[in-house]
Amino acid sequence: MTVMIDSTRTLFEAARPHLTDADLSALTDLAEHAADDARRWSTVCDGLACIIESDSLQQGGRAGSFQSGATIGNLLAVLGSAFDAIGSKADLGDAARAELAARIKGRAGK
């Protein structure tokens, strides 16, 4: 688990009994938002790779802004945080979907 996923799970579990079906329905959209975020970050990473590769080919060696340990470390930390947030959205959306389905099934069984 990650800090973001653990935190959102804790908050969701505390809030779950107080959430309406409409609240849960709105939260289920987070899974779709996570997929959108992942597609956007994929495009950003592809673009960065192309820029760095192009700079390297034009300059005949190392090029781009991400050459030192500090800049590469910062880039990877930002990417890791973004992917953590994406995972958290997907996890929360799935948990809300499962809770809503359980509630609907419970009402149907009565």
Q: Is the pLDDT at 63 greater than 70, yes or no? A: no
- 74-81 average pLDDT score: 89
- 76-87 average pLDDT score: 92
Query: How does pLDDT run across 7-42, given as a tens digit for each residue?
Result: 999 999 999 999 999 999 999 999 999 999 999 999
- 61-68 average pLDDT score: 68
Helix, strand, coil fractions of the chain, as percent rounded to 5: 85, 0, 15
- pTM (2 decimals)? 0.78
Amino acid, res. 4: M
